Amino acid sequence: MMIKKAIALLLVFCLSLGLLTACGGSKSKDTTADNSSTTTASDQTTTSNEETSEPTEEDPFPGADLGGVTIKVAGLQNPETADEAKKEMWEERRKYVEEKFNCKIQFDCLEGVEWNDVPNAIITSIASGDPIIDIGDMSRYYISDLMTNDAILDITDTVKAYNLPEAYWKGGCQWAGKIVGFNRNPIFPWSAIVYNRDMIKTAGMEKTPGEMFKEGKWSLNDFYDYLKELKSKLPEGVNTFGIHALNWARGAAYANGVYMMDPDTYVPSYTSDGFYEIVEFFQKLVAEGLAVNATPVTRDDGTTGYDWNPAQAGFDEGKLALAHGDEWNFESYASKFDYGIVPFPWGSNVTIQNNDYTTLSDNYTNYVKDCGVFVVVKGAEKKATPKQYMDLVFSYCQDEAETLLKNREKAAKGEKILPSNAGTPRNFTSDLDIELWDWYISRTKFEPTDTTAQSNVFFRALYEVCATNKNARSAFEAVIGQDTYSLVEAGLVDESLLSPELKQKLDEYAATATPNE
């Protein structure tokens, strides 16, 4: 491999000079910015061995002399807790990285911290003067709190200079226009509509949902007709379609070229005709019993809420014919029955040519709402530069580093970056599923709403509207001013980007709002 070859050449080079521990340069210094010591050594070698010297291959992820500091990490595999078959490999990588960067790595620094408590643990540790981690793999859901409390670094310039393709950071690793982290892998969606192929064939349907999509017959109207026929043929006790209202809103909106929140500007966008189309369509499914409804609940304040989680439960138990499914559940489905996947149906904003799904207009996309975000914590820059942290991560995660080098070449050629396992069976049970999944996740766009929103007013309105058949237009118009106000106050939305209508809604709410509301 390219990295191993580079490593081997560097080791030979350094050993020949008796300078193995000095290959990285000075403490906390970006070695790609100043390679004067390496250049001098190379010049000396050339002078004394002119006839026999060969050019060395530059390490794409160069080391550095960090002065023996301890780097506290979260999200990198701890050799001690690795599978037995891979313990030795990870231990060798640990030793290699610690020598390459003249540092010690302390793993699992967030161990014992509950998932919901991670942002607060980081923020309070910074305030105490002893950050709990230096670099860590965070959920996108943490970024709001971490950025609001000035707990992580803006690494925009570093990432752009690193030749890291957009697939590794665009959308999910950004916050208000800043790049605040990176992923060690390209970011891809992981959700689709899943269906029980055994159940659908037993019911006597002529085609599966996947075959319908393949034939270009999966518009919202086609989807409705399919569910209606299927419902008439399913046995008692089996529901046709189950999905959380928010999952429907995400997937169906992106399949209709519209958004709840603009992925680039964060401007609330759920009062568009295209969004009303997919919400009103879902209301129709619920009203006719084609989609499972929410469960009413009483909130702590005495008001009525709507729990949509039970609506999409039971697919793996044979209680639903179609449902929303995530990739990490596919293996479990495959072990129980023959299942299939199908992308969301498209709405009227999307076009298709000659019933060929590959000709669906570019505004038909899939969504990704969360991803791993490697962040550098405030104060960690005293130990190493953001670039050195990136080099350390890719020096340790060598498989991902190899993929990155290949994807850099693809990006330079303008080629589409796909998962490294594209085209392989994975946990799919048909060639059609493989084909549709690889195509669907290649149309990726970030969906920021629930990891970025500063108010819950839209979510409450959406859940109620979908459960009760309440007028969606009046419900969303009633909350968009408050929703936008909270985003503007948080510094996430630029008022100059608002339409005159939305600006008026904002101003109307602002006139009645109390500070910090």
| pLDDT tens, N- to C-terminus, the chain (517 residues) | 444 444 443 333 333 333 333 333 333 333 333 333 333 333 333 333 334 445 567 999 999 999 999 999 999 999 999 999 999 999 999 999 999 999 999 999 999 999 999 999 999 999 999 999 999 999 999 999 999 999 999 999 999 999 999 999 999 999 999 999 999 999 999 999 999 999 999 999 999 999 999 999 999 999 999 999 999 999 999 999 999 999 999 999 999 999 999 999 999 999 999 999 999 999 999 999 999 999 999 999 999 999 999 999 999 999 999 999 999 999 999 999 999 999 999 999 999 999 999 999 999 999 999 999 999 999 999 999 999 999 999 999 999 999 999 999 999 999 999 999 999 999 999 999 999 999 999 999 999 999 999 999 999 999 999 999 999 999 999 999 999 999 999 999 999 999 999 999 999 999 998 765 5
Q: Which residue shows structure tokens 């008796």?
A: 18
Element (H, E) at 400: helix 398-413
Concatenate the DSSP letters of all residues of 403-414 into one string. HHHHHHHHHHHT
Contacts of 268 (CB under 8 A, 6+ apart): 260, 261, 262, 458, 480, 483, 484, 487, 502
Q: What is the pLDDT of residues 457-513, one digit of tens each?
A: 999 999 999 999 999 999 999 999 999 999 999 999 999 999 999 999 999 999 998
Q: φ, ψ for residue 183 (rounded to 5)?
A: -110, 145
What are 204-247's pLDDT values in tens digits?
A: 999 999 999 999 999 999 999 999 999 999 999 999 999 999 99
User: For the chain, which domains are there?
Assistant: 63-182+370-413 (3.40.190.10), 191-369+423-450 (3.40.190.10)
Cα–Cα distance, 232 to 202 (Å, whole number): 13
Cβ burial 195-219 (10 Å sphere, 16+ → b, else e) = bbbebbeebebeebbbbbbbebbbb
pTM of the model: 0.87
CA torsion sign for 4, 6, 10, 16 is positive
Distances from the Cα of 59 to the Cαs of 99, 407, 501, in angstroms? 15, 17, 54
Strand partners, 86: none
**φ, ψ for residue 128, nearest 5 deg:** -80, -10
Cβ-based neighbours of 322, under 8 Å, separated by 6 or more: 193, 194, 195, 196, 209, 227, 230, 240, 241, 242
Whole-angstrom distance, CA of residue 73 vs CA of residue 134: 6
Helix 2-17, helix 36-48: angle, nearest 10: 70
Distance between CA atoms of 392 and 62, rounded to whole angstroms?
Answer: 8
DSSP 182: B
How far apart are alpha carbons 468 and 304 in whole angstroms? 12
**Cα(86)–Cα(88) distance, integer angstroms:** 6
Helix or strand or coil: residue 298? strand
DSSP assignment of 100-117 equals HHTEEEE--TTTT--GGG
How far is residue 52's CA from residue 345's CA, in Å, rounded to a whole number? 65
Distance, CA of 475 to CA of 115 (rounded, Å): 33
Tokens 């085609």, located at residue: 207
Asked whether 215 and 200 are in contact (CB, 8 A), the reply is no
Question: Alpha-carbon Rg of the chain, whole angstroms?
Answer: 26
Query: For tokens 């630029």, what's the residue?
Result: 494
